[in-house]
Structure 1
Amino acid sequence: MKQDVVIIGGSFAGISAATQLVRAQRKVTVIDAGKPRNRFTDHSHGFLGLDGYSPSAIKEKTWQQLQAYESVTIIEDKVVDINKKVQGFSVKINNGETIACKKIILATGLKDELPDIKGVKARWGKTVIHCPYCHGYELRNRSLGVIATGPMSLHQAGMIPDWGLTTYFSQGEYQPDPEQKLFLQQRGVSFEDTPVVEVLGGNLEVSAVKLADGRVIALGGLYVGPKTHMASSFAELLGCEFTDGPMGAIVVTDDFKQTTVAGVFAAGDIANPMQNATFASASGVMAGIGVHKQLIQELL
């Protein structure tokens, strides 16, 4: 099956890219393995027109809309290999099918590396969260904590008081400098250097954290900035260049989301230093436009 474009990843970025291309009557195949980064949360917030919908409901709605266009194919499976050819690429799927295409859009997402603290993983995406714009309103007006995982946690601690009284847990490692500490104090942030060793609470709720010295501090929600890693190795295998993002490596792209490898584009969290659903969708739109622009130029 010969396609203009294969898009790997069928969430916000991938579907946004596909929509631009099918509306330009290009042949597009979207391949989705069904493991989006946002699968741990019940609701997606801040996305225009879909605030509060579940990620699965958004996926279903957007897929239905995309499939109204006759030039799209959606395959729910895993890509196992991509090979660069003299002209274009060959994409092998786990079901044994191989698709030839002119361009690739990687919308494969990131995976989060959570701190090894008992109780964090079970509550991730519920009452242990990362982005206050995405989920902070649901934890508003509670006593909140920020568990430091790196230098960016200090920036995070400066934001969170808008949602509730905030304690910054440095874990004995990520201390503010005098200027940062003064700013955080002015924001009303409290400081605790003894490491958090366990998150307490019933079901998916946070009621407190237990410290290494045995003390327990009552809280109603926690913020954690996870380190991030590529959810797929394809960008590396294809030879794309990377740069450092705030919490991990991201793929280098130009203004139209082409990577440093000709014909390979990247969209969504893997190519965005700032990451949420809206940014992912916007970068997908740009990737779709970038691919279409390149396909047109190659006919001249």
Structure 2
Amino acid sequence: MNDVIIIGGSFAGLAAALQLGRARRKVTVLDTGLPRNRFADHSHGVLGHDHKPPSDILAEARQQLARYPAIKLVNARADSISGTLDNFSVLTGDGESLGARRLILSYGVADQMPAVPGFAEGWGTSIIPCPYCDGFEVADQHWGLVWFRPQSHIQVKLFQHWTDRLTVFADGHDIAPDIRADLAHRNIPIVDGRITGIARHGGHSATVKLDTGPDVAVDILFAHPPTEPSASLHDSLGLATVDTPLGIVLKVDERRETSMPGIYAAGDLATPGLPSVTTASWQGAMAGIFAQQSMLV
């Protein structure tokens, strides 16, 4: 039996595996090879790995984990989970049943692309969600922001640390008069109408097509589509969740433990707010450490 099975082998999952492997705990990591940031050319703001392709960072991490004999990396999907503390069972997509004393869920979330032609194709290149991840590379250029709810007003204020050229696309949303007045005070134009398509022009630049008025070209477009967990294992387990503006995440305590004893969660699956490779790695490490400590006798 494993000490811990980790479901999801991106940054959070591998960081958890590293801590557990160094504690000489027997660990199996199940991963489908589809990390959320696979569409991005580079990962930024990661100490020691700034401006590296995320796939390269993960490949290097897997190579480093190979020196720990207690860690097993398996390319497989987890189909179901059963059992309780000290006796969990995970059934993989290959029909294999694996046992473990503890579980760490780090299978992340998937961005739900809107039915707008060109949106999915531009995601991660000309359409991005996070200024901390990519803002430096496009600073002082013309940014666009797709409005998605009142929280977008916070994004407007944040973006002005990177650029003074910003256009807000209402995309059919009602923007309150007081917010419109604030945007006007900041010299930020609002383009009303719904977005009907997005054309990419190489690199980051894109043209936003609208159902009313002319098309608008920007150097980069920021958007925040809703997310859904990449798997439904937490639903079948009845784990407690938290609603966020973009989607649900798992509820965890200060030790990264979910509402079911012995099951921990880390990464985007359990993180409200801005996603981050650094945050995911830190949370994964903590989940691994706390899972390890929970097995002390």
TM-score by length of structure 1 reads 0.93
Alpha-carbon separation, structure 2, partners of 1:138 and 1:116: 28
The residue aligned with 2:91 is 92
What is the Cα deviation at residue 203 of structure 1? Answer: 4.4
1:40: which partner in 2?
39
Contact 1:268/1:281 (8 A) holds in 2: yes
1:134 shift after superposition? 0.5
* Separation in structure 2 between the aligned mates of residue 207 and residue 85 of structure 1, nearest angstrom: 50
Shift, 1:204, TM fit: 5.5
CA distance in 2, matches of 1:183, 1:279: 32
Counterpart residue identity of residue 134, structure 2: H
* Structure 1 partner of 2:49: 50
SS of the residue 1:162 aligns to: coil
Match of 1:295 in 2: 295
**CA shift digits 1:183-231 (9 cap, x unpaired):** 4344432212222222123346434212212412221110001111111
Say if 1:86 and 1:272 are closer, same or farther in 2 by CA, change over 3 A. Answer: closer
CA distance in 1, matches of 2:238, 2:262: 12
Instruction: Report the residue type matching 1:74 in the other structure.
Output: L
> Helix, strand or coil for the counterpart of 1:68?
coil
Indicate conservation of the 8 Å contact 2:85/2:101, yes or no: no
Alignment of 1:1-300 (within 5 A): 2-85=1-84, 87-164=86-163, 165-178=165-178, 180-203=179-202, 205-274=204-273, 275-296=275-296, 299=297
> Where does the alignment leave 5 or more consecutive residues of structure 1 unmatched?
none
Note if contact 1:154-1:176 (Cα within 8 Å) is conserved in structure 2: no
Q: Deviations over 1:241-288 (max 9, x none)?
A: 001123111100000100001111110001111321111111111111
Aligned length: 295
**Does the 8 Å CA contact 1:170/1:195 hold for their aligned counterparts?**
yes
SS in 1 for 2:136: helix
Question: Identity percentage over the alignment?
Answer: 36
Runs of 4+ in 1 over 6 A off after TM superposition: none
The CA RMSD over aligned residues, in Å, is: 1.6
Q: CA deviation at 1:4?
A: 0.2
SS of 2:282's equivalent?
helix
Tell me the distance in 1 between the aligned counterparts of 2:99 and 2:3.
8
Find the aligned partners of 2:279 and 2:182 in 1 and give their Cα distance: 28
Q: CA deviation at 1:42?
A: 1.2
Query: Are 2:85 and 2:102, in contact at CA under 8 Å, matched by a contact in 1?
Result: no
CA distance in 2 between counterparts of 1:204 and 1:88 reads 50
Amino acid at match of 2:171: Q
Distance 2:252 2:206 in 1: 42
